[in-house]
Amino acid sequence: MNVAQRHKVILSELEKEGYVKVTDLSERLGVSTVTIRKDLTDLENKKLLFRSHGSVSLFSSLTSDRHIDEKEKIMVDEKLRIAEAANRLLEPNDRIIIASGTTVLAFANKINFTEPLTVITAAVKVSLSLCYRHNIEVIQLGGTMRKSSASVIGHEAENFLSDLTCNKLFMGVDGIDLDFGLTTSNIGEAQLNQVMMRAAQKVIVLTDSTKFGKRGFGKMCNLNQVHQIITDSNAPANAVQILREKGIEITLV
């Protein structure tokens, strides 16, 4: 098989699987990992794919900062299934943090928990969704309003969280990259999420499958800081396997 043929097979595998390991490509094509890495470098230089540590995904640019009203209309069924799975993680007297984003908003909208629960959130829509629930105490963080996400960022929110310890953080992302980690499209939001993570005993990421292989502008954390990811069943199988090998609990819905 010549170079052009190998490149065609590599791109075909990526279209089908989403993520592919270097070792798997080596076995599939019957060539050394050195040859595969050279092929991948050639394809990356042509901006046809994106390399991560030990694996490769289709090339994608930085995610854009779209308005929450637009994002709410995307992957609706998947977000509802993710929300239902997240609901099953709630326990009586939990003190949880709900970050910003449409997937965690779907979770807040679907909370049917009847036991006492404390929710701390940066997202105004989350507060409005839960404020009339008699069993839920809602603490709305203060700060500078990000109009595109209808949530707050800034030192006021970060300082308030720095003195707290919560059971769980439910967090959305704009990108999950196996090498770079978790990202969002706004630096201020990334910084606030970092503080949220330090305040939480367990970090749970709620994300639909379209976020895999993407990178946002602001990095929130490395993968080893995440305990669990809940996503839909269209998540790339190779990426799910790699994440599980890293010790992250993956729930597919």
Burial class of residue 112 (count of CB atoms within 10 Å of its CB; 0-12, 13-18, 19+): exposed
Tell whether the model's pLDDT for residue 60 goes beyond 60. Answer: no
Indicate the pTM of the whole model. 0.80
Query: 68-252, what's its fold?
Result: Rossmann fold (3.40.50)
Matching CATH number, 3-58, of 1.10.1040.50, 1.25.40.10, 1.10.10.10, 3.30.460.10 = 1.10.10.10
- Over residues 171-209, the pLDDT tens digits come to 999 999 888 899 998 899 999 999 999 999 999 999 999
Instruction: Compute the average pLDDT of residues 103-130.
Output: 96
The closest of 66, 110, 88 to 211, measured between CA atoms, is 66
- Over residues 62-110, the pLDDT tens digits come to 565 667 777 777 899 999 999 999 999 999 999 999 999 999 999 999 9
For the chain, which residues make up each domain, given as ranges? 3-58, 68-252
How many residues does the structure list for the chain? 253
